[in-house]
Amino acid sequence: MIGITILGSTGSIGVNTLDVISRHDDRYRVVALSANSDVDKMSAQCREFRPDYAVMADALAAEALESRLREAGLETEVLAGDEGLVKVAALPEADCVMAAIVGAAGLLPALAAARAGKRILLANKEALVVAGRIFMEAVRQNNAVLLPVDSEHNAVFQCLPAAYQGDMDRAGVRRILLTASGGPFRNVEPVELDAVTPGQACAHPNWVMGRKISVDSATMMNKGLEVIEACWLFNAEPSRIQVVIHPQSVIHSLVEYVDGSVLAQLGSPDMRTPIANALAWPERIDAGVNQLDLFEVARLDFQAPDFERFPCLRLAYEALERGGTASAILNAANEVAVDAFLHGRLKFTAIAAVVEQTLSSLPSAAVVSLDQVLDADREAREFAGRLID
């Protein structure tokens, strides 16, 4: 049995991971689950999967969960906070760690998994956006296995040679093409975006995702973060990563080779496909996903991204160009701005404005330590918060 820890089990990636695992209960055993504060959902997951540990980021939620589990007669040990997350990410009995905590909060446990030499299924792009150099060094130094779960990066992973070692030229790769749906506002006039509500921004046309990621998709910051992530995952220069708007979300990404070949990974827009691919790699297992019907799809459309409509994508490329802690500053400012938008304190179009002002106002420096990255993250959050207030 393969032991697995799921960081962020009550989010969409976590729920889908548990769905895939439930189809192969002779193969996987849930060792630990973690969530932020959703006691109801975590309690239900613990009753179904009987993990050894359950971690709540919120201390009060941990107390409430422990009470619920004791009443249900479960012996699951309940932990709280970053200390608990780091512990379950490095458990000896956990062969595999699904890193699916949204935002920079997922960095420390993902890094703990890397330092423990785990097989890491990475759905938390911020671990690489915020601290890519440190995270990748931890993976290499501790012989961890890093498998991407984001649908786009998993698609690239599937289209690259099986023995790819991070050298695009040696592998004959010309460039990586990351597809993007364009979100719900790809055809909306920019002047109309001021009036966008959180409900509209979270109504993604193709994917079912959490609120924060849905807003990032609507601004295309999500794609910008994915470009940064792809640079670290595949050792690629930013100039060799092209974003392509593809409204149908059937082609999840492509790899172009020097001989003119372009390999694409296609499938229904269902996160269980990349999750199952990463869980079972190098094997394939059933994910419970509907088969792709090309006759029903009928057509595939593509267009170049509009940086005027999606300034957050431009800002991500600019952060990459600056290097160092700039990506951490970008991510922190975006998290603060998106949270303010979701709580009615900021207009949709002001998200990019807050990020741009924070990025242009704070200096970036070469990354030498995790503390330095965390300091940059904190400073950017405070600066963005002051802009909003």
- 166-186 residue pLDDT tens: 999 999 999 999 999 988 888
Higher pLDDT, 298 or 184: 298
> Which residue ranges make up each domain of the chain?
2-148, 151-309, 323-389
- Rg of the chain's alpha carbons, rounded to an integer? 20
pLDDT score at 4: 98
Neighbours of 61 (CB within 10 A): 18
Strands (E), the chain: 2-7, 28-35, 53-56, 77-80, 96-99, 119-122, 145-148, 173-180, 241-245, 251-257, 262-266
Under DSSP, is residue 343 helix (H, G, I), strand (E, B) or coil?
A: coil
- 269-290 residue pLDDT tens: 999 999 999 999 999 999 999 9
Evaluate whether 2-148 and 323-389 have a shared fold. Answer: no
pLDDT score at 201: 85
In CATH, what is the architecture of 2-148? Answer: 3-Layer(aba) Sandwich (3.40)
Is the confidence at residue 192, as pLDDT, over 90?
A: no
- Which residues have a Cβ under 8 Å from the Cβ of 200 and sit 6 or more positions away? 184
- 58-95 residue pLDDT tens: 999 999 999 999 999 999 999 999 999 999 999 999 99
Is the confidence at residue 204, as pLDDT, over 70?
A: no
Q: Strand 2-7 and strand 96-99: pairing?
A: parallel
pLDDT score at 207: 59
- 352-388 residue pLDDT tens: 999 999 999 999 999 999 999 999 999 999 999 999 9
- What's this model's pTM, rounded to 2 decimal places? 0.92
For 13-51, b/e burial (b = at least 16 CB within 10 A) is bbbbbbebbeeeeeebbbbbbbbbbbbebbbebbeebeb
Is the confidence at residue 125, as pLDDT, over 90?
A: no
323-389 to CATH, choices 3.40.50.2000, 3.40.50.12500, 1.10.1740.10, 1.10.4160.10: 1.10.1740.10
**Length of the chain counted residue by residue:** 389
Alpha helix segments (H runs only) across 142-174: 151-159
